[in-house]
Amino acid sequence: MSLQLKDLYDSFREPNTIKALSQQIKKESLKLKEPLYIMEVCGGHTHTIMKYGLKQLLPKNIEFIHGPGCPVCIMPKERIDHAISLANLDDVILLTLGDMIRVPGSKTSLAQERAKGCDIRPLYSPLDAIKIATENPDKKVIFFAIGFETTTPMTASVLKIVEKKKITNLYFHINHVLVPPAVEAIMQSGEAKINAFIGPSHVSVISGAKIYSPLADEYNTPVAVSGFEPVDVMESILMIVKQKNEEQTKVEIQYSRAVTLDGNIKAQEMIAKYMTPRTHFRWRGIGDIESSALVLREEYAQYDAEKVFAEFLSDEPIDDHKLCICGTILKGLAKPSDCKVFGTACTPNTPLGSCMVSSEGACNAYYRFEEI
Amino acid sequence: MKYIQLSHGGGGEETNDLISDLFYKYFNNEILLKAEDAAVLEVENKIAFTTDSFTVSPIFFKGGNIGKLAIAGTVNDLAMMGAKPLYLSSSFIIEEGFSFSELETIVISMRDELAKSGAKIVCGDTKVVPKGSLDQIFINTTGIGELKSTEISAHNIKEGDSILISRDLGRHGATILAAREGIELVSDLGSDCETLWPAVEALVEAKLNVKAFRDATRGGLAAVLNEWAQSSEVCIEINENLLPICDEVKGICEILGFDAYDFANEGTFIIAVAAEDEEKALEVLKRFDFSSNAVCIGTVSSERPKKVILHSPWGSRRYLELPKGELLPRIC
């Protein structure tokens, strides 16, 4: 019998398992000395929690704080404007991943520019960039690459093919960001009341679970590296509650199906071959964070859209709409429902802030999966 | 190889050849063959009237093509009002250079689909536009049907009614998406594209207390249920584990991050029926191949008027909202 896709998720959505975990969490949580404020770092987890209604299965002394782990949501407007400026250049095809198309920049969005006639294409796989560049030799194809540690190896593998096949019309605008510096920045500010973390499994498949060790040690917070199915998230919460009750603060791997302490060394090497940390990157709502994103290495400057098209791009910071509280939400200091424009002036069709755009954004998840 | 040329839409000899070699040949009926400026129709009762344009890409897909869709789509809109589909118009806008044999395949599919409801194409139009002006072929069909029941309306749904679905969800949307994105499946997932009138006719003739029919086309099940909840000012409560979704559709949703209840269907309809007639309605539906797996997926309540609530198998619940944003253009 062959392995089917459903074999990979069916048992992780098994109703009796979810109910049993809910009971166990409720029982264990009676022993908690203080309320638990768990930051789920990744927007994918926010989506799981809201879509599957997991909050309803938890006791009142466990709350979620939605973290900055949505690559679209943390993209500052000046960089979205980069994408828009690049798309408007002559003979350019701009490629990017799904939700980037709708996120508003300072004046317009890629969706609006596409409607006006710019050639902007969403990719399901970054490898499609190779095909598009090869099929359009007279065009300059620019891949606006976004994502955390999870998608970075894919961009690196596209670069590897570009180098090998000597493709000269594919450029990269790198917006790959890193989880640990962002979480560290939120904790350092001292404002957030977070006392536990759920870390995204896919990031640790690449970077390993060890990336959270400094966090657990420095701030005495339990960390569970979790998968994205409801059973995964519930099991991770149980792990965290047990750690708290046993006064432990360690990094635990719930997603043992694919996460190791060290991660995928080969992928890490490939990333390191092509990219290196930027001195700093401005995160939407959080601000400048040192070494929190990647840039192409100097020796690959001929592929770097930020260098090749530098004369058309401005790095002047552009702040959010003054009513938007995405920044405060990303820091875990407010819930989407605390925002004055949530669901009124700001909806998935007319997003004022980035958290409403992507299905991984906290506001979008609250809007789509409104609780009863 | 024969190709459609600009002259085929010019109104002269080539146009006449195209009409007689293709449209008269396959859509053959007395009203059409009279070739007057307009068709003259006789209808006894109140009529239902609808129109739809078809722009699907790719034009040929597993389970159908743009022609089959153009007939089933309009015929189904009539059927959903409890109207027997009678007369259709069909307008073709064709890109110069389109293959004649592909056009013939499309027209034959249209003829075959018409036979399922007995509706006739009684008038039409053909335009050919220069290469690059449109993508291959667009078809508009407009239809008239005779009302067989005046009780069917999205405003009639009441607390206590049952919500049934005629078959599994999301096949058309998933098929088009898979074709468009080049996802190769180790299965024969195809569109559900189908004329629904035979089942609707049987339900109407069975004199059951049916409140509303609606085919779950663009916007899928989520859109139908939200429209009904709004129109009838009721709450519709759905059990997620009762929703029939095949493994292939589930898989495509998993890979691409969609939900099957947002996907378009082209031969799947939702029925609101009084609870006492639920079993009888299911019996009627099960007589037809295309609705042999019909099931009840939920009930109507007054819990949260104008809202649709989705109950998870593990006891949590949330609102099922209308799909938003750019799901997929040119699905039909």
How many domains does one find in chain B?
2
| Residues B267, B180 share a domain | yes
Q: According to the model, what pLDDT value does residue A141 have? A: 98
Domain-wise residue ranges, chain A: 33-372
Does B311 lie at the interface with A, CB-CB under 8 angstroms? no
What is the number of helices (H) and of strands (E) in chain A?
A: 14, 13
A43-84 pLDDT, tens per residue? 899 989 989 999 999 999 999 988 888 888 889 999 999 999
| Residues B224, B192 share a domain | yes
Position B218 in a domain: yes
Task: Please compute the mean of the pLDDT values over residues B128-146 and round it to a whole number.
Answer: 96
Q: What percent of chain A has pLDDT over 90?
A: 72
> Given a cut of 60, is residue A119 above it in pLDDT?
yes
CA atoms within 13 A of residue B149's CA, in its CB half-sphere? 22
Q: According to the model, what pLDDT value does residue B211 have? A: 97
> Given a cut of 60, is residue A161 above it in pLDDT?
yes
CA atoms within 13 A of residue B60's CA, in its CB half-sphere? 8
Q: According to the model, what pLDDT value does residue A326 have? A: 83
Distance from CA of A72 to the nearest CA of B (A): 16
Task: Please compute the mean of the pLDDT values over residues B311-325 and round it to a whole number.
Answer: 87
User: Among residues A361, A366, A316, A333, which one has the least CA distance to residue A105?
Assistant: A316
> Given a cut of 90, is residue B125 above it in pLDDT?
yes
Residue A97: closest CA among chain B residues belongs to which residue? B256
Domain that holds residue B10: 6-147
Position B241 in a domain: yes
Position B326 in a domain: no
> Sorting pLDDT into bands at 50, 70 and 90, what band is A171?
very high
The shortest CB-CB distance from A349 to any of B256, B313, B325 is to B325
| Residues B202, B76 share a domain | no
A52 chain-B contacts, CB cut-off 8 A: 312, 314, 316
DSSP 3-state of A15: helix
Task: Please compute the mean of the pLDDT values over residues B300-316 and round it to a whole number.
Answer: 95
B79-95 pLDDT, tens per residue? 999 999 999 999 999 99
Residue B240: closest CA among chain A residues belongs to which residue? A52
The architecture that CATH gives domain A33-372 is 3-Layer(aba) Sandwich (3.40)
Does B187 lie at the interface with A, CB-CB under 8 angstroms? no
Q: According to the model, what pLDDT value does residue B253 have? A: 87
B255 chain-A contacts, CB cut-off 8 A: 5
Contact call for residues B142 and B51 (beta carbons, < 8 A): yes
A71-75, A198-202, B278-282, B322-326, range with the lowest pLDDT: B322-326
> Given a cut of 80, is residue A232 above it in pLDDT?
yes
> Given a cut of 60, is residue A1 above it in pLDDT?
no
Q: Would you tell me which residues 87-106 of chain A have a C-beta closer than 8 angstroms to some C-beta of chain B?
A: 101-102
B197-239 pLDDT, tens per residue? 999 999 999 999 999 999 999 899 999 999 999 999 999 999 9
| Residues B87, B117 share a domain | yes
B319 chain-A contacts, CB cut-off 8 A: 369-370, 372
**Among B112, B147, B182, where does a domain finish?**
B147
Other CB atoms within a 10 A radius of the CB of residue B299 amount to 18
Instruction: Give the C-alpha separation, A323 to B176, whole Å.
Output: 40
> Sorting pLDDT into bands at 50, 70 and 90, what band is B97?
very high
Residue A225: beta bridge partners?
A199, A253
Q: According to the model, what pLDDT value does residue B207 have? A: 94
Instruction: Give the C-alpha separation, A334 to A263, whole Å.
Output: 33
B11-64 pLDDT, tens per residue? 888 889 999 999 999 999 999 999 899 999 988 889 999 999 999 999 999 999
Position B157 in a domain: no
Q: Residue B67: which CATH number?
A: 3.30.1330.10
| Residues B265, B128 share a domain | no
A349-364 pLDDT, tens per residue? 778 887 887 778 889 8
| Residues B166, B314 share a domain | yes
The shortest CB-CB distance from B309 to any of A230, A367, A372 is to A372
| Residues B168, B111 share a domain | no
**Among B124, B147, B170, where does a domain finish?**
B147
Task: Please compute the mean of the pLDDT values over residues A325-353 and round it to a whole number.
Answer: 85
Cis status, amide bond into B58, omega within 30 of 0: yes
**Among B95, B117, B147, where does a domain finish?**
B147
| Residues B172, B138 share a domain | no
Does A72 lie at the interface with B, CB-CB under 8 angstroms? no
Position B134 in a domain: yes
Q: What is the ipTM of this complex?
A: 0.78
Name, in order, each residue with C-beta under 8 angstroms of B186's C-beta and a sequence gap of 6 or more: none
Contact call for residues A122 and A98 (beta carbons, < 8 A): yes
A369 chain-B contacts, CB cut-off 8 A: 318-319, 321
Position B330 in a domain: no
The shortest CB-CB distance from B318 to any of A9, A53, A348 is to A53
| Residues B137, B166 share a domain | no
Distance from CA of A124 to the nearest CA of B (A): 8
> Sorting pLDDT into bands at 50, 70 and 90, what band is B324?
low
Position B332 in a domain: no
Interface A:B, Cβ pairs < 8 A: 63
| Residues B248, B173 share a domain | yes
Q: According to the model, what pLDDT value does residue A353 have? A: 81
| Residues B264, B295 share a domain | yes
The helix (H) or strand (E) run that includes residue A46 is helix A43-51
Average pLDDT, chain B: 94
Other CB atoms within a 10 A radius of the CB of residue B118 amount to 14
Does A50 lie at the interface with B, CB-CB under 8 angstroms? yes
| Residues B139, B241 share a domain | no
Q: Would you tell me which residues 94-113 of chain B have a C-beta closer than 8 angstroms to some C-beta of chain A?
A: none
Pick the residue of A124, A232, A357 with the most B CBs within 10 A to test the interface with B by mutation: A124
